[in-house]
Copies of this chain bind each other. A is one copy, B any other.
Amino acid sequence: MSSELQISPAIHDPQGQEKQQQAAGVGILLQIMMLVLSFVLGHVLRRHKFYYLPEASASLLIGLIVGGLANISNTETSIRTWFNFHDEFFFLFLLPPIIFQSGFSLQPKPFFSNFGAIVTFSVLGTFVASMVTGVLVYLGGVMFLMYRLPFVECLMFGSLISATDPVTVLSIFQELGSDVNLYALVFGESVLNDAMAISLYRTMSLVRSHSSGQNFFMVIVRFLETFVGSMSAGVGVGFTSALHLFKYAGLDVDNLQNLECCLFVLFPYFSYMLAEGLSLSGIVSILFTGIVMKHYTYSNLSANSQRFVSAFFHLISSLAETFVFIYMGFDIAMEKHSWSHLGFILFSILFIVIARAANVFGCGYLVNLARPAHRKIPMTHQKALWYSGLRGAMAFALALQSVHDLPEGHGQTIFTATTAIVVLTVLLIGGSTGTMLEALEVVGDSHDTSLGDGFEVVNSRFMNSYDDEDTPPGSGFRTKLRELHKSAASFTELDRNYLTPFFTSNNGDYDDEGNIEQHHEERIPFTRRGSVNNRG
């Protein structure tokens, strides 16, 4: 903390004039007050179980209102200066904690037991959604329905707008209870699809700037370079951190907690910067570092440090996320909007709804082909997944970057459309989520396999289905899908038999973390079982 606040404009001016510094101070003051207000308002709304205005929407509204007031008053220009920060601030200070936390708060067990489905939805599905959106936007431009963008730029827009952020859906799941597999699907999909969307965006951006002599093969290579390269960097740093902190496990020394925590906090940023230094995606890298660090490094920490780092990352990411929503609201209220973008916005919304349907129902069909009868994803779950396609910080950040990457009018159009889509989806979908999920009957205490308790059942069932291969073989395609599915299960085996014993000081058996509650709760995460060295 503390330090996750806006870089004042004064920093950009080496003269450091007192007036300007003072104005910056007032600007930051205003931002802190808005943050405090958001937290308190969100808290009050949640206590009164008012689900029509989730925290994210409340933050967005506060930003909208303050921005609107500033717009009316004459102080506009100076306030605009206070809030004017560059997209690097987003990418260096706000996004990393948010993305790391989304990887870090992933519960390994339900995630890995739905690994195949999640990868299908997030990799194949996001690709499908990006292409469908891009092609539709391009066709819309060709047919003069909306502002016309070049095809590659349409694909860039399709990629960035496919990054979902189901923050309100997930908070309602946590509030009301939900099926653990549905939660894992929605959460896992949103986490990995950020990585996919950013990789697609970067690939398209590279294709655009080096448009000569590019062929389809090169595009694939570039995409793999970004995605696999960043993932490897992230996973590598994660494993390094696990081995590094392994050395301290079981040592009962003075001041250990602070040492452990300092190192634990530095590794994610190291991963981010390493990837950026290698011209890869820091965001994708830090996401995978988060997943690996939660799964391996985390269990090498002392019980106190475990509680601390969970709360720490939760705090930092809440602050960053709230700030992002406030900023988005403020920004849309302050922007000079021309009505010419209205058509683009409306058609884009229609297209992303269609693209999301193509993603979810298409991939849902494929996944169900591969799954045995009792594990098929029910239609209600697919609808909930389709419904949870809110757009958030990642789409906004990429749109902010597109303003620099693209020619004047194009980038501005994409940015305005994205901001509008974010605000509309957060306010409309966010407000109706409670009602909608209850109508679909996927939330509520009555639910049998409620989060936490239900997981063991699901998991054992899942394990059984691979122990006894009595399910009748389907068509050739279907068999292949099942084999793919099985390879995901074999990853779980690899993890259990080799990775976990090597990288952690646990006795190799899984912890019983089958519940989705956040780790800042009073409950103590699985304690270290002695300091037996299982490496050999």
Contacts and interface: CB of A to CB of B under 8 A. Distances in A.
B2 A96 contact: yes
Interface in A1-57: 1-5, 7-8, 10-12, 14-16, 18, 21-22, 25-26, 28-29, 32-33, 35-36, 39-40, 43, 46-47
Given A7-B11, A258-B311, A266 B36 contact: yes
A380 interface: no
A315 interface: yes
Contacts of A5: 269
A404 B15 contact: yes
A316 B2 contact: yes
Given A3-B1, A10-B88, A311-B258, A266 B32 contact: yes
If over half of A's interface residues share one DSSP class (helix, strand or loop), that class is named, otherwise mixed; here it is helix
Contact of A522 (B276, B304, B314): B304
A16 B88 contact: yes
A473 interface: no
A265 B311 contact: no
Determine how many copies of this chain the complex contains. Answer: 2
Give the most central of A16, A315, A319, A404: most B CB within 10 Å: A315
Interface stretch (A153-161, A249-257, A334-342, A440-448): A249-257
A258 B318 contact: yes
Contacts of A253: 43, 47
Interface of A: 1-5, 7-8, 10-12, 14-16, 18, 21-22, 25-26, 28-29, 32-33, 35-36, 39-40, 43, 46-47, 86-89, 92-93, 96-97, 100, 175, 253-255, 257-259, 261-263, 265-266, 268-270, 273-274, 276-277, 279, 282, 304, 307-308, 311-316, 318-320, 404, 518, 520-522
Given A258-B311, A312-B315, 20 more contacts: A1-B1, A3-B97, A3-B320, A7-B11, A12-B12, A16-B404, A21-B88, A22-B276, A28-B273, A29-B270, A32-B266, A33-B270, A40-B263, A43-B253, A47-B253, A257-B311, A258-B520, A261-B315, A304-B307, A308-B308
